[in-house]
Amino acid sequence: MKKVRLGKTDLMVTKTAFGALPIQRISVDDAVKLVRRAYEGGINYFDTANAYTDSEMKLGIAFEGIRENVIISTKSGGKDKATVQAHIENSLRMLKTDYIDLFQFHNPAELPDINDPNGPFAAALEAKEKGYIRHIGITNHRPGKAKEEPAFAYAPFQAHAD
């Protein structure tokens, strides 16, 4: 299956990805079978979110023994440092992994303030510095907001800012 570079990261992902929102509606066994079938079919990029009820837990079970072969993206809608820290810790636990490949702020109304020591970006940056996440991004459902350039896209600590 053809792979492409994900944005400005070093991640090479399959053009076909697995969005894990729907697996919250099926049993653990069925979800694990579905995810493994997708992986065996060549998909390596799996997207989930802390808010997708048991989706992360199901992915964590499905990825046992193959974690090093998949790219995991997860998201948080947290609006402060403590909430985002808790979401990252929970995601790591549920996904049964030591790191998240791409952590994203999920559909924020306003872009995170990179200078707020108690803001959501501070939590993501600390997690990145500890090696818990490799890349930081943003998702958005608002076309105007999605076109805004996040300030941290050019920050020196970003992997793509070399």
Q: Clarify whether 52 is annotated catalytic.
A: yes
**37: which 2 tokens?**
């079938």
Q: Where are the beta strands (DSSP E) in 6-98?
A: 12-14, 18-19, 45-47, 71-76
With b meaning 16 or more CB within 10 Å and e meaning fewer, what string describes 5-39? ebeebebebbeebbebeebbeeeeeebbebbbebb
- 39, 45, 52, 132: which one is catalytic? 52
Helix-, strand-, coil-residue percentages of the chain, each rounded to 5:
40, 20, 40
Catalytic residues: 52
